[in-house]
């Protein structure tokens, strides 16, 4: 069909799995890949396809990369058995991991050497919107990259912000979002546990504050995890030392002081240091709770 594409999604974690399902629902022939074989098997059971990436690469038109970070993205694209060298001229990489802007620029230049388009396309909305095909995508790339990616973007995103024709501009905007998102999660945890010291239970906190001016998207999305005592990782603590680290690195290069971001980063570093790195990022509340001798829901 005219608007369907031979598509691979590499990285079937919290975000990539939903993206792969959304691409499949959009009618694209969708192949899913993950170093964790269980994830690829699950995708197969859900109606997707998988296989040997190297064999399939020459027929792929769109490759969506949703691994954790810059190092994993580079390895998927250009490491041993990297996919770019096997792609056909005109194929497009949609790079969704949160990475530094200058890394996105360098990946775009290296893809161009192989005649492959690169769309710098970090994502927002969490695992639920990924599964619904309703992500916000902060995208930058050449008009040719946008044209090649468009049919798949239409299946996975509600809104695609077109932020310029050079890779890096999408990742710069994502860093701005991450500054807010990380600070909002940490301040939600601070306020929720502060409330406990004042006799405000976590469930009352969510009921009342989510309808008051102090609320945020992150409060409404993450605080219910604390109330439920459920730290299944939809977005892990480990994402934040990476993302707030990116923010502070590029802020430092711009000689921009970001003290509130730095404080939030320390709380996520403390959470990771307490062995909570693979829990949902709402677990940053445990840092506050342990410090204040509080018992969160679900803890004995």
Ligand X SMILES: O=C(O)C(=O)[C@@H](O)CO
Binding site for ligand NAI (CB under 6 A): 10-16, 33-36, 39, 66-69, 72, 75-76, 96-98, 123-124, 126-127, 234-235, 239, 243
Contact flag: residue 235 with ligand X (CB under 6 A): yes
Contact flag: residue 73 with ligand X (CB under 6 A): no
CA pseudo-torsion sign 118, 87, 16, 274: negative
Q: How far is the CB of 283 from ligand NAI (least distance, A)?
A: 14
Q: How far is the CB of 105 from ligand NAI (least distance, A)?
A: 17
Taking CB atoms, the residue at the shortest distance from ligand NAI is 13
Q: Closer CB to ligand X, residue 222 or residue 286?
A: 222
Q: Closer CB to ligand NAI, residue 22 or residue 235?
A: 235
Q: How far is the CB of 259 from ligand NAI (least distance, A)?
A: 23
Place of tokens 């969506």: 64
**Residues of span 181-200 touching ligand X by CB under 6 A:** 181
CA pseudo-torsion sign 187, 191, 196, 197: positive
Strands in 123-124's sheet, in edge-to-edge order, are: 123-124, 135-139, 157-162
Instruction: Name the binder of 39 from ligand NAI, ligand X, none, CB < 5-8 A by kind.
Output: ligand NAI
CA-based Rg of the chain, rounded to a whole angstrom?
A: 20
- Residue 143's CB is within 10 A of a number of other CB atoms, namely 10
- Annotated catalytic residue 174: yes
Tell me the C-alpha distance between 249 and 295, whole Å: 35
Tell me the C-alpha distance between 143 and 119, whole Å: 10
Q: List the catalytic residues.
A: 174
């Amino acid at each position: 069909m005219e608007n369907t594409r031979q598509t691979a999604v590499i990285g079937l974690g919290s975000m990539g799995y939903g993206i792969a399902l959304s691409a499949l629902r959009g009618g694209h022939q969708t192949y899913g890949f993950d170093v964790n074989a269980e994830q690829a098997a699950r995708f197969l059971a859900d109606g997707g396809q998988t296989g040997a990436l190297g064999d399939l690469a020459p027929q792929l038109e769109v490759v969506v990369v949703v691994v954790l970070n810059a190092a994993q993205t580079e390895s998927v694209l250009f490491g041993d058995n990297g996919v770019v060298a096997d792609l056909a001229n005109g194929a497009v990489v949609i790079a969704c991991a949160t990475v530094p802007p200058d890394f996105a620029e360098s990946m775009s230049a290296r893809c161009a050497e192989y005649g492959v388009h690169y769309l710098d396309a970090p994502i927002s909305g969490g695992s639920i919107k990924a599964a619904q095909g309703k992500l916000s995508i902060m995208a930058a790339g050449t008009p040719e990259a946008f044209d090649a990616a468009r049919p798949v973007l239409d299946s996975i995103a509600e809104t695609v912000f077109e932020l310029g024709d050079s890779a890096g501009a999408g990742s710069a905007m994502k860093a701005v979002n991450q500054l807010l998102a990380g600070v909002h999660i940490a301040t939600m945890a601070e306020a929720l546990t502060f409330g406990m010291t004042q006799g405000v239970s976590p469930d009352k906190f969510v009921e009342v504050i989510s309808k008051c001016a102090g609320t945020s998207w992150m409060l409404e999305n993450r605080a219910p995890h604390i109330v439920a005592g459920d730290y299944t990782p939809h977005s892990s603590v480990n994402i934040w030392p990476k993302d707030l680290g990116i923010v502070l690195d590029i802020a430092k290069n711009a000689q921009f002081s970001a003290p509130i971001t730095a404080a939030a980063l320390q709380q996520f570093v403390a959470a990771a240091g307490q062995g909570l790195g693979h829990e949902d990022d709402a677990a940053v509340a445990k840092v506050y709770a342990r410090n204040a001798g509080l018992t969160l829901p679900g803890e004995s």
